[in-house]
Amino acid sequence: MATMRGWRTTGDGRLSYAELAVPEPASGEVLIGVEACGVCRTDLHVVDGDLSPRRSPVVPGHEIVGRVLGGFEHDVDGPRVGTRVGVPWLRSTCGRCRWCRAGAENLCERSRYTGWDADGGYAEYAVAPAAYTYRIPDSLEPLQAAPLLCAGIIGYRALRRAALPPGGRLGLYGFGASAHLTAQIAIRQGAEVHVVTRGESARRLALDLGAASAVEPGRAVPPLDSAIVFAPAGEVVRDALADLGASGTCAVAGIHLSDIPPLDYQRHLFRERTLTSVTSNTRADGAELFRLAGRLGIHAEVTPYAMSEADRALADLAQDRVRGVAVLDMTR
C-alpha cells in the first residue's frame, strides 16, 4: 500500500501528523498531487468541533491546487493527467433537487464538502470529483491560486449578496483571507471600502490595498450602503447593521457564527435594512471569480508555511497572526 504524509483531526481540537494511505480515486474522481493548500478559518471550525464532525478522523483543507496524476481518463471533458486543477469547499451536490435544478446548488441538502465530509488537502495527495474541480492556468502560481478557491469565492459571493450599488460605500468587518481579496475586487470596481478589524497589521494591509479607512471595532465609520461580516462573532453583525444607511444590506459570510445579541428594531433594522447570509458557493461563482480575478489583477497576500507546519499555521490563524492568507506550500 502506497503511503503519504498528511494531517488529520484527532477529535480533541488538535491535528496529528501521520503516515496515511494514498487515496484511490473512485469513479468520476481524479487523483491529485497537492502543490499548495490554503488554510481557512473553516478548517479551524472543523478541527475545533465548531462544525459537527461528518467524518472522523478527516484530513482538513479545501483550497487545494495540484496536478492530476490519474483517474477519469475516459471522459473527454475531464481534466487529463498533468493538468493543474483546483479543489474548492463544495465537493459535490445531488444535481436533482429543486435547488440544483434552479442553479442554486449551494443550497442542495445533499451537498458534500472537502475537508469535512471527505479528506482534503493537508496531505501530499488528494482525490476529488472531476466535475467539481477548476482548471488552473499554468500562469497562475499555486500559492496565488489556492486562496481563490474558498476565500476568494466566498468573498465574491458575499459581495454579490451584499447588493453594493455602483460606486457605493462598503464596510468589511474582519480583515483576513477572504476580506483582503474582496476588498481588492470592490475597490477595482469603483467602491469606497471601509474596514473594521481589531488587528493592527490587518488595518495596515487594508490601507495598503486602497481602503478609504481602517479602524478598530467601536470606532465610527461613515454610513454604509453595504456591509460584509467576515468575523465569526455575532456582536459584529449588530455593529454592522447599526453602521448601515437606509436600504443597506449586511451579508454574513462565515459558515459558523456565535449568537447574535438582541437587536433594536429602530437602530438595526428599520429604514428597510436587510440582513442576509452566505451559504457555500456554486461552481458558477468560482468560474466568475477566476475570470474576474484575472481581469482585475487580484493578488493574494500570502503567508507561506511548509506542509509540516499546518498545526502552526492554524494556531497563527486563530491568534490573528497571519497577514493576508496562510497557504501550505508542499514544495517546502
pLDDT, tens digit (0-9, with 9 covering 90-100), for 117-150: 999 999 999 999 999 999 999 999 999 999 999 9
Residue 111 scores a pLDDT above 90: yes
Q: What is the pLDDT of residue 71?
A: 84
Q: For the residues 50-72, what does the mean pLDDT come to?
A: 94
Mean pLDDT in residue range 189-202: 96
Exposure string of 198-226, with b = 16+ CB inside 10 Å and e = fewer, is: ebeebbebbeebebbbbeeeeeebeebbb
pLDDT (mean) for 34-48:
96
How confident is the model over 276-287, as pLDDT tens digits? Answer: 999 999 999 999
What is the mean predicted confidence (pLDDT) over 149-165?
97
Domains of the chain: 3-139+301-329 (3.90.180.10), 153-277 (3.40.50.720)
Contacts with 30 (C-beta within 8 Å, 6 or more apart), sequence order: 68, 69, 70, 71, 72, 78, 79, 85, 127, 128, 130, 133
Query: Given the C-alpha cell 435594512, which residue does it identify?
Result: 273
Cβ pair 293, 140 in contact under 8 A: no
What confidence score (pLDDT) does residue 239 get?
Answer: 97
265, 270, 274, 276: CA torsion to nearest 10: 0
Residue type for 227, please?
A
Q: What is the pLDDT of residue 82?
A: 92
Confidence of residue 1 (pLDDT cuts 50, 70, 90): confident
Q: CB of 53 within 8 A of CB of 11?
A: yes
Q: Cβ(107)–Cβ(279) under 8 Å? A: yes
- Which pLDDT band holds residue 77 (cuts at 50, 70, 90)? low
Bigger pLDDT: 133 vs 78: 133
pLDDT at 168: 98
pTM, full prediction: 0.94
Give the model's pLDDT for residue 141.
96
Label the pairing between strands 192-196 and 213-215.
Answer: parallel
Position 73 scores a pLDDT of 60
The CA-based dihedral angle spanning residues 69, 74, 78, 80, taken in that order and rounded to the nearest 10 degrees? 40
Phi, psi angles (nearest 5°) of residue 236 = -70, -35
Q: Cell 436533482 appears where?
A: 96
pLDDT at position 76: 53
Q: What is the pLDDT of residue 252?
A: 98
* Spatial separation of the C-alpha atoms in residues 154 and 286, rounded to whole Å: 9
What angle (nearest 5°) sits at the alpha carbon of residue 181, between those of residues 156 and 166? 55
pLDDT score, position 85: 97
Q: What is the mean pLDDT of residues 92-105?
A: 97
Q: Which residue, among 114, 107, 117, has the nearest Cα to 146 in the 3D structure?
A: 114
What's the confidence (pLDDT) of residue 72? 67
- Is residue 321 over pLDDT 70? yes
The partner residues of 214 in beta bridges, in order of sequence, read 195
What confidence score (pLDDT) does residue 75 get? 54
Query: Mean pLDDT, to the nearest integer, of 310-323?
Result: 94
pLDDT score at 318: 93
Minimal CA–CA distance to 71: which of 108, 119, 125?
125
* pLDDT beyond 90 at 300: yes
Average pLDDT over residues 211-222: 96
Residue 161: C-alpha distances to residues 100, 121, 154, 155 (Å) = 19, 28, 10, 10
